[in-house]
A and B are shown apart, each in its own frame.
Chain A
């Protein structure tokens, strides 16, 4: 298909601390016991896209990701792992790997995207319109993923979060306006020139940028080189391209030849003669005029480029793992409602219990659960809607509900874990109660924390490894 796929796998995402650490970069966070990156890679593989550049922030993280990829996909995919400095933004990351880009079009996808939207469809939409950029949009989730436990504004809490304000043409193929980030909360400023050209624009608040883009390589490279201040694809590059689509600042080389052809889309007729134009001045498409100019009186054809969209249907799954809330949501969904995302085969009870897992007597594992390889559970345990990693040792009378338990976790008898995330190598002593609906107990294996016996973690607060350890000593 002559598409290169660039996976922006990030590094140590701040919003995911303490889930991520030097040992576990964001890309390797487990979703149903598989690194999140594998969902992206395998999803593209299914669409016959096998040429990847995985961009990781930080050398050490890149080594870890690279190691994992070469283990898992050595014979299946052609993956290059590129390390870039931290905090240079998505646009900076692409700038840094500029020389790796060779294909005609580049698909850029965020490495934390768990989705079943066929990238082929995005690529096809891109090619069909010969667009400069095609962005994938998905419906805004009902509960905002970024709202978890942090300092969300007061107004934000009241209405569903808006991620983007998006303007589309009536055919819903072209992106005419996009506001991201802080602009979303401001008044909407729509360029009249674009509105004039199209006639109608639909402004939507229920769509969001899903962080999968198809770029024309020349366009992408040019913008990145010219606009050195651009840091983010989402907030700088894409809005810039959308804004300037009717008066493209892109150079003629390589782009214009194709660009000129495209103005036909907005109206049926393709050629505009001045005489026609005079006879019926009001019926011509602005785009044609824009591009052609008044029969040679304009110094040169005006340059335009197209910004397209692919709108995923509501039934598609599309969530980014960019917050702790999202982490637990995705884990729950992948073994639950969106079980088709993983290759796992579910048992008749609608759960996955690895053959090597050992269950004690009277222990029940409900539907939408996963029990990893070599994990053991004692008697009279109950697991609901949770993921339990590999080689965990779980005592008797333990309740696990709506939680994610990573690998090598030891849980003492009588513990109760609800709505929590427990990282690898954590030990919970007997009768620890972790209960929380919104906030998570986050324990990181690096700290090898033990939660004291009978220690009850109250709801509504967020505890990290240290604080628990400290309290235990008291």
Chain B
């Protein structure tokens, strides 16, 4: 198999020492996914790949590459899918290809729509020879990899199944919104405190219940640690097997949802994932607009040192740090009366007019900002023109945008490339404006779902290639006098937010979460808490209602098995009912019942009893007015399902079980049957479902029972007598 080949190639199969030597010899490699496979940065990403978007005036991928270089990575493979040409062009023109001891290779693929596809296609290239770092091209970090790598290799030497080490960092999600400061969903992890092995991973609410349900098998040792205050940095140290695993499991798409969870659930192969927690260094991934905002601020506030604007870590221009977190590039034309507030970055060649106020913002290169403009918490990219009197709050403004005088942006707005906002136009909060029209959600729920899901599957790579055509088409299709929605003289379409998304838009935008949303959500959590409280009260019925005291623990096993058998019976009954309603063939019923039997660990006698019960129930539920009709019902039901019943009655024991079951029914659940006991029994005998031996055994078994138990034996005395005589006669013959 291909997988095997990959494994041995990686050195995992050799002796421990060999493997180590080999690992030591191979240069440290990294895979950078230059495509996030999500749609979170739309509409911007329709025109430019996410990794090339400027983050504090430098493309994201530069941060990633600079970090990898400083961390001692020698070979980097940049995987490009959507807009691959742009990425390759950018890298061609950058210095990255010219670095000593640091080789950057691009891998291009046009049909990859997920991280899984990307890794599969990298696997086919056979370029990865040893342990490698897997990151996406939007990672900002300054962590040192040596410690994590050392741990990873040590574990690998001891256990070749330790295929991956995930980097995590402390970060408590907000108690209200339940998302981290990076705008990602809260994450529940279970980690072995000793070995740091990851045992459980639950991101986003695939489980909205108020409790975390952990398999008891997770607690193999004395303790495990449940963590809700960690953030997944999406920096993975992987063994070569990871690639072959993706190839073997061609349905793995998402790194976390499919791969990590898949490995955790799969206990056959026994692959293990470990975690490495970083404390003082920085690592984060730009996943959505909120993390873009957060990470930009972190960079400005120098948490990511040395990856800060005033350090020459790659092609960025010489920027100087001034007091109050002000970064200024050369050649800025700034009016004396302009106030440039704290924590602001201004790019080269930008001019700023009179009485303009800019605070907590990033302004790119070559922008021209007019007079009396207020800019607060905005990310303004390159060559943007903002005319007099504009007001911008917590927005992203892409390259080449023009805002005519008096225009204003409410919080959370995204203006994509080259949009023009008309005079005095107010762009409503959280709207996204693009020259491209919003693709109609033609295909589907599926895509919608993925997009909502933060999954990572739908970048729609086709758009990249045909983008220009697309633009052309639109241009031609729409007459010049088309009605843009962005005011007088404006150019651009306001994207509608899909209905489900509207609610959540504020969660991931660059703007801080408004108060009323917080209050609203707090109310909801309040209610939830109350609900889960009620839930909680029901949690351990056995504990609360059981007749327990400190001393009696011994009954529990018994109770458990009884519970099991009750559930089993119910399941069988439901299966049978389905079979009746949907006219499923007997063979299928047998298959299903067998599956149930295995999963509940029941004997075939239990199956026989449960099925018999279901059949009788069927007869009982059928309409009938008199006992005679009931007997008829029984007759039809038994006749119909005779084959099924017989299947589970291979020996006398099961038949006795059926009689006992019937007795129990007569006493408890279906008293209607009790006067008809003999008749039904006789019928079962006639139909060869129950043999006479079983009846006789049952009768003799009951002989020693208490009086109350013998009601039915007495009822059937005559019948039994007759049976006995019959058999004796036979013997005589």
Contacts and interface: CB of A to CB of B under 8 A. Distances in A.
Contacts of B513: 278, 281
Contact of B536 (A146, A182, A244): A244
Contacts of A474: none
A182 B222 contact: no
B177 interface: yes
B377 to A, nearest CB: 12
The interface centre, meaning the residue of B212, B226, B526 with most chain A CB atoms within 10 A of its CB, is B226
A10 B539 contact: no
Interface in B534-560: 536-537, 539-540, 542-554, 556-557, 559-560
Interface in B227-284: 227-229
Chain B interface extent, by class: 35 or more
Contacts of B173: 196, 282
B221 to A, nearest CB: 8
Contact of A202 (B225, B550, B559): B225
A285 B512 CA distance: 19
A394 B277 CA distance: 66
Contact of A290 (B175, B180, B228, B550): B175
How many of chain A's residues touch chain B, expressed as a range? Answer: 35 or more
B12 to A, nearest CB: 32
A239 B529 contact: no
Contacts of B216: 185-188
Interface string A274-309: 100111011111100110011001100010000000
A298 B218 contact: no
A243 B554 CA distance: 25
B519 A165 contact: no
A239 B538 CA distance: 12
Given A182-B543, A191-B211, A235-B546, A203 B530 contact: no
Interface string A218-257: 0000000001011110111001100110110100000000
A243 B548 contact: no
B548 A89 contact: yes
A370 interface: no
B675 interface: no
B533 A229 contact: no
Contacts of B213: 187-189
A301 B59 CA distance: 47
A265 interface: no
A259 B125 CA distance: 63
B223 A202 contact: yes
Interface in A158-216: 165, 167, 179-183, 185-193, 195-206, 211
Contacts of A294: 176, 518-519, 522
B214 interface: yes
A234 B209 CA distance: 26
A348 interface: no
B172 A203 contact: no
B548 A235 contact: yes
B515 A274 contact: yes
Contact of B542 (A182, A203, A211, A277): A182
Contacts of B175: 196-197, 284-286, 289-290
B543 A180 contact: yes
A283 B548 contact: no
A151 interface: yes
A405 B513 CA distance: 74
A153 interface: yes
A196 B536 contact: no
B543 A236 contact: yes
A150 interface: yes
A187 B175 CA distance: 26
A328 interface: no
A13 interface: yes
Contacts of B181: 281-283
A10 to B, nearest CB: 7
A278 B548 contact: no
Contact of B529 (A151, A183, A247): A247
A189 B173 CA distance: 21
A10 B218 contact: no
A232 B548 contact: yes
A195 B544 CA distance: 23
Contacts of A466: none
A14 B552 contact: yes
A232 B549 contact: yes
B330 interface: no
B219 A196 contact: no
B193 interface: yes
A239 B543 contact: yes
A341 to B, nearest CB: 22
B554 A151 contact: yes
A110 B550 contact: yes
B539 A231 contact: no
B453 interface: no
A472 interface: no
A183 B539 CA distance: 10
A129 interface: no
Contacts of B522: 289, 293-294, 297-298
Nearest to A236: B544
B428 interface: no
B553 A181 contact: yes
B9 interface: no
Nearest to B202: A192
B544 A190 contact: no
Contacts of A281: 174, 176-177, 181, 512-513, 518
Contacts of A229: 544-545
Given A191-B532, A200-B228, A282-B181, A322 B551 contact: yes
B532 A231 contact: no
A193 B214 contact: no
A192 B177 CA distance: 14
Given A190-B226, A193-B210, A206-B222, A150 B554 contact: yes
Given A281-B177, A289-B175, A189 B219 contact: no
B147 interface: no
Nearest to A295: B519
Nearest to B189: A200
A258 interface: no
A232 B547 CA distance: 9
Contacts of B218: 188
Contacts of A461: none
Contacts of B223: 202-206
A201 B212 CA distance: 12
Given A181-B543, A185-B560, A298 B526 contact: yes
Nearest to B542: A182
Given A188-B214, A235-B548, A294-B518, A195 B226 contact: yes
B215 interface: yes
B360 to A, nearest CB: 12
A187 to B, nearest CB: 5
B8 interface: no
Given A196-B173, A200-B227, A203-B225, A87 B554 contact: no
B224 A203 contact: yes
Contacts of A191: 210-212, 532, 536
B163 to A, nearest CB: 25
Contact of A192 (B193, B210, B224, B530): B210
A186 B564 CA distance: 13
Contacts of A15: 551-552
B188 interface: yes
Given A195-B188, A247-B533, A189 B548 contact: no
A425 interface: no
Query: Nearest 5 A-B pairs (CB), nearest first?
Result: A199-B229, A286-B175, A206-B222, A182-B556, A282-B181
Given A192-B532, A235-B548, A290-B175, 14 more contacts: A15-B552, A89-B548, A150-B554, A182-B542, A188-B219, A190-B212, A191-B212, A196-B175, A199-B227, A202-B226, A206-B223, A229-B544, A278-B512, A281-B174
13 contacts: A179-B540, A181-B546, A191-B536, A193-B210, A199-B228, A200-B226, A204-B222, A204-B223, A206-B223, A227-B544, A240-B544, A282-B172, A302-B526
